[in-house]
Every structure is written in structure tokens, then in C-alpha cells.
């Protein structure tokens, strides 16, 4: 498992920084966003350190499919029947602030489009 010593989300996975867990298995961790932008706002991340969407490769992409399976399952459990939005920000222009791949899942209010 690749872990980055200075990565905030690697520290959250290791339990060194507290978080409100939504879901966990051997490959992924999901937790409440500390600054929610919707009534429901959690993040789903791979346990392996991947810097962002731009660092997904043929070697590590299986976890991305798994993340989307997990998102669908959590959405059913949370009864998000009104819909939800899944976002990943890659790089400066998109507003990425943590360089560990993460998918925002937001729900509980109507969303505008295009985002931002």
C-alpha cells in the first residue's frame, strides 16, 4: 500500500487525524466532509495514495470502479432518492486542495449546473 507521509487523507486513513466515518473496506474509506456544501456531503477515497484523477493509470484504476460501486451502495443506504452529485477536482483550476484522489458525494438540495 502506497502511503504519503505528508498527505492529509493518508493521515485520516491511518487514524492520525480524526474523521467521521461513513464507510470502510479494505480498499476505500468514506467520511464526512469537514466543510459540507450540501446537507449530505461526504468524501470517498482510495486507501492507496493516488494524487488525483490525473494520476489514475491502468495499474491503479480498478479502485475507481470500486469507489463508484461503494457510492451507489451508500446512496441506497442513505436513501438519496432525490439524486446526488459526484465530483472530483483535478488541479488548480478545478480547486483541488488535497492531493489524494477523492470523490465528493453531495445531496439533499437541488444543484446548479455547470458547477462553479
> Which residue numbers are catalytic?
102
Interface with ligand AMP, residue 112, by CB under 6 A: no
Binding mask 46-85 for Zn ion (x = CB under 5 A): ---x------------------------------------
> Binders of ligand AMP among 18-47, rule CB under 6 A?
19, 33-35
> Binders of Zn ion among 6-45, rule CB under 5 A?
7, 9-10
Interface with ligand AMP, residue 105, by CB under 6 A: no
Residue of 43, 71, 89, 100 interacting with Zn ion (CB under 5 A): 100
Closest CA to 69 of 44, 39, 95, 100: 44
Element (H, E) at 74: helix 62-77
Q: How far apart are CA 72 and CA 83, in angstroms?
A: 11
Rounded to the nearest 10°, the torsion over CA 98, 92, 41, 62 is -70
Amino acid at each position: 500500500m502506497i502511503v504519503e507521509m505528508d498527505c492529509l487523507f493518508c493521515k485520516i486513513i491511518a487514524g492520525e487525524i480524526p474523521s467521521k466515518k461513513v464507510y470502510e473496506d479494505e480498499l476505500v474509506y468514506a467520511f464526512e466532509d469537514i466543510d459540507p456544501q450540501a446537507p449530505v456531503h461526504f468524501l470517498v477515497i482510495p486507501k492507496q495514495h493516488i494524487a488525483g484523477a490525473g494520476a489514475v493509470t491502468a495499474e491503479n484504476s480498478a479502485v475507481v470502479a470500486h469507489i463508484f460501486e461503494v457510492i451507489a451502495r451508500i446512496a441506497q443506504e442513505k436513501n438519496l432518492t432525490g439524486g446526488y452529485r459526484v465530483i472530483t477536482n483535478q488541479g488548480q483550476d478545478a480547486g483541488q486542495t488535497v492531493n489524494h484522489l477523492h470523490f465528493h458525494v453531495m445531496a439533499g438540495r437541488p444543484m446548479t449546473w455547470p458547477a462553479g
